[in-house]
Amino acid sequence: MPRNRAALALAATLLATPLAAQTSSLTPHQRLAREVYSELISINTVDSVGSVTRAAEAMAKRFRAAGFPDSDVKILTPPGKPTKGNLIVRYRGRAGTNSPKPILLLAHLDVVAALRTDWPRDLFTLAEEGGFFLGRGTADDKAMASIFVANLLRYKQEGWRPQRDIILALTADEESGDANGPEWLVKEHRDLIDAAYALNEGGGGSLAGSGNDVHPLFHTVQAAEKVYVDFTLTATNPGGHSSVPRPDNAIYELSDALGRLARFSFPVTLNPTTRGFFEQTAKVEQPAVAAAMRAIVANPNDAAAAATLSRDARFASMLRTTCVATRLAGGHAYNALPQSASANVNCRMVPTSSLEETRSTLARVIADTGIAITYTQKQLPRFPASTLPIDPAVLSATTELTRTMWGDIPVIPTMSTGATDSHWLREVGIPSYGISGLFSLPGETNAHGRDEKMRVKSYYDGLEFLDQLVRRLAGGVQP
Ligand SMILES: [Zn+2]
């Protein structure tokens, strides 16, 4: 069948047709999701100038109109931060007091700032062009936010009641700002968001190919994150006149220490998520890399396997804690010996490590007691309460649905080397999984960047996937 030709013809039609025609072929549920998506994009939720509260209120209005009782639709705003409101909606299950703990659906409403002059279009208008949705937040994170909203509205409208409660939390300040929603909610309103586990951003599907000729390659479930901490290394010296150098010198002392750090690798430390990552990724990798992945899972001390994998910076960071120099300062005058030299060392610790372990390893590697090692920030990170394997029910439902929708592709557990809001929940013992069913080519969405985008097909597939997944996990029966 000339599937590609039909797809091209369809793409050409979509390019040329106005909005009304683009939406006329949608199912009523797709149309609702698109409407919610469009409304969310149209509300400026940039930390500095926008209002997350406005977006939360717009969504709350939809839930109340759909018949959710006022007591189950709450906007919670941290004191003194009127634009940082979080929406919590509870859809009550039928099981009552014996029911399993709720499922939490988490998405952030805030977006990264951008300059209108950098963009070829209005940032805050949902555009549809060439098979893509465009606008700030189309990928990060208003696709998932709108999908969760539309699906919850649909369950209610259909009269589908889950076994357990489903909680939706649409939150503030994931990207930046001083009022992170999940951080504040776990502290002040834990009861409202307490759940068996959460589904959040951080996972998704990877496509291969180019243009319209793409196919799904794998689907990831983010189940762990590295932990961020900065150290300041400081070398000090009495200094003096630079015309009469002395053998000890703060800049040289610090440079030598950084040189030792540069040549050091932390030991390979895997956890259930990264073991799963390498096992599953081996299925789609080149033979040499795949063999190294299998070898490292069998024996984390396999130095040859670690060396092969470490040639790829992403795998290198997945294998171990990393610490890297990111800033440097030293000296106070051109003609004086430096009295101090300092560097910031940014560490991304594996979640099974600790601050003390990382700090003492740094001290050992630097091997210079004259260099002070201090924490750069006052507020120190906390570690997840545990690094458990992915809940088997979540993994099997995700795997089955992935097969049904995208064929026989691997579902790959991942550990983010960066961070999402999931860490706030994991720290207090609520497992959190990045699962979205949203597929893209690597780098394609350009989240945080110019002309952020989401494939139209990916969006509607994600809508369907998350609808089905939540129905399965929440264990209800169809009306
Ligand atoms: Zn995000």
| Residue 12: pLDDT over 60 | no
Position 265 scores a pLDDT of: 96
Residue 202 CA to ligand 1 centre (angstroms):
8
The per-residue pLDDT for range 133-182, each reduced to its tens digit, is 999 999 999 999 999 999 999 999 999 999 999 999 999 999 998 999 99
* Angle, CA 227 vertex, CA 221 and CA 231 arms, to 5°: 155
Tell me 284's DSSP state. Answer: G
How does pLDDT run across 297-316, given as a tens digit for each residue?
999 999 999 999 999 999 99
CA of 446 to the centre of ligand 1 (A): 12
> How many angstroms is it from 173 CA to the middle of ligand 1?
10
With beta carbons less than 8 A apart as the criterion, state whether 350 and 271 touch.
yes
Residue 21 has pLDDT above 90, yes or no: no
DSSP H helices, 46-132, are 52-65
Name the pairing type of β-strands 453-455 and 227-236: unpaired
Distance 305 CA to ligand 1 centre (A): 33
HSE of 341, CA atoms in CB hemisphere, 13 A: 21
Q: What is the pLDDT of residues 26-48, one digit of tens each?
A: 999 999 999 999 999 999 999 99
**373: how many CB neighbours lie within 10 A of its CB?**
17
Query: What separation in Å is there between the alpha carbon of 417 and the centre of ligand 1?
Result: 14
Dist. CA 141 → ligand 1 center (Å) = 5
How far apart are the CA of 420 and the centre of ligand 1, in A? Answer: 7
Would you state the pLDDT for residue 212? 84
Is residue 70 predicted with pLDDT exceeding 70?
yes
Q: Where are the alpha helices (DSSP H) in 214-322?
A: 250-262, 272-281, 287-298, 303-310, 313-319
Report pLDDT digits (tens) over 276-289. 999 999 999 999 99
Q: What is the overall mean pLDDT for the chain?
A: 94
| β-pairing verdict for 166-171 and 103-108 | parallel
Contacts of 420 (CB under 8 A, 6+ apart): 174, 200, 201, 202, 222, 225, 434
Could you tell me the domains of the chain?
Answer: 3-224+387-474 (3.40.630.10), 227-375 (3.30.70.360)
DSSP for 163-206?
Answer: SS-EEEEEES-SSSSS--HHHHHHHH-HHHH--SEEEESS-EEE
Cα separation of 77 and 53, whole Å?
A: 8
Average pLDDT over residues 246-250: 96
pLDDT, position 406: 98
For residue 85, how far is its CA from the centre of ligand 1 (angstroms)? Answer: 17
* 68 Cα–ligand 1 center, Å: 27
pLDDT at 19 (0 to 100): 56
Contact 446, 453 (CB under 8 A): yes
Instruction: Give the pLDDT score at 22.
Output: 66
